[in-house]
Amino acid sequence: MPGNRIGSHSNCPIHSTQVKSISSVKGFFWKSKHRRKSSIPLDFSKISSLALKQICNEAERLQSFPLLSLAAALVPPFTKLSSNVLAVPLETSSIEAQRCIDQRPCEVESRGCGPCGELYFQNLDLSRNAVEHRTGIEFPTMLDNSISGESNSSFPPEVLVGTGSRTMTIIRIKSLKVYAFGFYVHPFDVCEKLGPKYASIPESELNKRQDFYQDLLRKDINMTLRLVVSCNGIKIKTVKDAFEKALRARLARTNPDADFRCLQTFGSMFPEDIPLNVGTTINIHRTADGHLITEIGGSQYGAVQSKDLCRAFFDMYIGDVPVCEQTKEEIGKNVANFDYQDALTKSIIFLEAQRSGKLPKNHRPSWRGDSALQDGKLANVDLVGGYYDAGDNVKYGLPMAFTVTTLSWAAIFYRSELQAAGEIENVRAAIRWGTDYFLKASSRRNHLYVEVGDPVKDHECWVGPENMKTPRTVLKIDQNTPGTEIAAETSAALTSASIAFRDADHTYSRRLLNRAKSLFSFAKTYKGTYDGECPFYCSYSGFNDELLWAATWLYTATRRSLYLDYILEEAVSSPVSEFSWDLKYAGAQILLTKLYFEGQKDLHTYNQQADSFVCSVLPDSPHHQVYISPGGLVHLRDGANSQYVTGTAFLFSVYSDILATHKQKVTCGNKKFDSVRLLDFAKQQMDYLLGKNPKGRSYMVGFGKNPPRQAHHRGASVPKIALAKVISCPMSFVYWYNKNVPNPNELTGAIVGGPDKQDNFEDLRTSSAMTEPTTYTNSLAIGVLAKLAKHHAQS
């Protein structure tokens, strides 16, 4: 693969590949001692974007021109060659970044539990072959490593993380495709051997750490390089000679005291009578116990046991002086990433677990049942449906509306990303579950039912919603008891949802928009803060942010001057450092900045305030105000702090896209930050929650390594109980709350409250500030997870 001299890595382009479906994939099982079940399905979602890029060194002159030397094109010598170099220059290698869309389950057998309580190897699609673009050669996305047709192999299955090809030009006239190659690694090895040390390190830092790549070599991770010949005339002797020369130099460098007799043994694995016709495969396997195994044409020709030789071989690609520096960066990047697709799917499933009312047939959390089917009866109104906000069984209007607004925003802004992930319909269903409820709650003009359930009584009983017997008290706002925050937020929810449904269900969309207009009029006509949801959801910020927020959504949906006039002449705004169920200014400011960039120049002040929000959060901004934990997490409050993390990540992701579209930057004093910096910070925050943190653990239930198992949640922590059974509320805490045991029901996808400001965390149900999830924490995560899932599928 050498084409350029060592140190020159500019010619390493990335291209997309084609993918072709195959009928089946040999799966394998991962047994874990960490779960009650005997096996865990391992979800491989998409092929990695890891691209093994151009090998940039010189090649020796071919022994017999015009016969081509695969080895000369393949093997990079460690030291510079003499001037006696290849007379026919190599073209730039085309290294193919794999893009696959479908996701299928696969199961992996572990050789031990290790630190990987649950492993997800991102960007992998086992339902398809990868087709190398230039040669058309297919590579299986899983290498089962069966030798000579035998079903049992001594090596574990490995997954494809990159494909590439090499072409050679003869006398600058004819271009010949010499070979294609695929690079495979074993995912459990990566997680088990590198996860404990590197899980908490951000991707941007990991790429710069040489010890990461050295550990990738030293930790003896199973990996394979597969070559597929794509032209005739290649001699096996030149393959052997070039390998031996390059490996001798690497071996001498990596360990001067190594036993060099291993090179002779390795060379003996290339019998000279083997024809290398088009389609011939050469596999070089490295095993964890230090064997370098050569397989040609499906037959094993030998093995040499030498960890030094194994490391020398793969040192050519990921060592101190790699054949292409960009290859190393891609490896660091892709080992570091998470399966954002899986995290996205699970985040939506959590919202389903929070549903109240009569559940649909396609409801996914199997342990949940119908609940609160008489809600609203005390007020002679139908209030069945909607969402429980967190770990209790009360329906609060303000956080529920914010959940729907932010979920709708994700559906609007990241529609294509959600479609690519196959989740747009699930998100729309989640939105409709809330908006159907709000339509019933606002059926009378200037009336809005804002709470169902008695919070005090509910918090005195630890039972699931299916078995609750606590009072279902109903609270409302009207002209005499106004609640501007809740009315305006509900207006914003219905308006944003109307945009989300505009193409999917126009009639429903119009109905939502009309009700939203009515609620906004109600909110600004009868002003007043409603304290009925205190002490659980008190509005500390007042109602001006909700009025601006609602007007912004109405102007976005209608473009009517009525709402723009309100924004410019009546609305109150302020620079802030937070985006949450109580404080909406930053969200409105970013929405209005988009309109400003599109030509609405009288919104300039809002653009300045949106920039101020960014400047207050970024730790390298001269105007930084927000506390960042030692591990890099945004931390505003100890109670359910993850909501501020996902809120910040979502706004940064959205603003990043707006800046990129309009070629703008954020100015913070003497510094400027571009869209890439904002997205990187958003990703860093989400990665922290998914496992890149000082504890090396996930804060999403059912995802990643060592996820929470004691979420502060009634439904998840109480086993199924017969509906007729009488439950003692005082004893319910003894039975199910105070016990230090995992929840019997997995609250899949729930992002718990998270660690404190020093990155400390305890997975205890009794530590509600750390282990209680909320709907709005997840609704804010869905958009940015969709963005990251598609971004890394394409990178």
Please give the C-alpha separations between residue 755 and each of 452, 630, 641, 708, 751, in angstroms, as whole numbers: 31, 11, 8, 12, 11
Q: Which two tokens stand for residue 227?
A: 């070559």
CB-count exposure of residue 758 (10 Å: 0-12, 13-18, 19+): exposed
Q: Which helix or strand (DSSP H or E) is residue 312 part of?
A: helix 307-318
3-state secondary structure 166-189: EEEEECCCEEEEEEEEEEEECHHH
Dihedral-angle region of residue 370 (phi above 0 means left; psi in -120 to 50 means alpha; beta otherwise): beta
CB-count exposure of residue 660 (10 Å: 0-12, 13-18, 19+): middle
Q: Which two tokens stand for residue 452?
A: 């169902």
Nearest CA to 164 out of 216, 121, 222, 225 is that of 225
Active-site position among 291, 712, 713, 792: 712
Q: From the CB of residue 566, how many other CB atoms can be counted at a distance below 10 Å?
A: 19
Question: Long-range CB contacts (< 8 A, 24+ apart) of 314-318?
Answer: 314/217, 314/223, 314/225, 314/286, 315/217, 315/250, 315/254, 316/75, 316/76, 316/78, 316/246, 316/250, 317/52, 317/183, 318/213, 318/216, 318/217
Give me the phi and psi of 133, to 5 degrees please.
-65, -50
Q: Which helix or strand (DSSP H or E) is residue 104 part of?
A: strand 104-106
Residue at 301: amino acid letter:
Y
Q: Does residue 712 carry a catalytic annotation?
A: yes
CA distance 767 to 5: 58
Q: Which two tokens stand for residue 31?
A: 């047994």
User: CA end-to-end span of the chain, whole Å?
Assistant: 23
Residue at 595: amino acid letter:
L
Q: Which helix or strand (DSSP H or E) is residue 228 part of?
A: strand 223-229
Place of tokens 């008695």: 454
CA distance 136 to 128: 14
Q: Which helix or strand (DSSP H or E) is residue 211 part of?
A: helix 210-218
Catalytic residues: 712
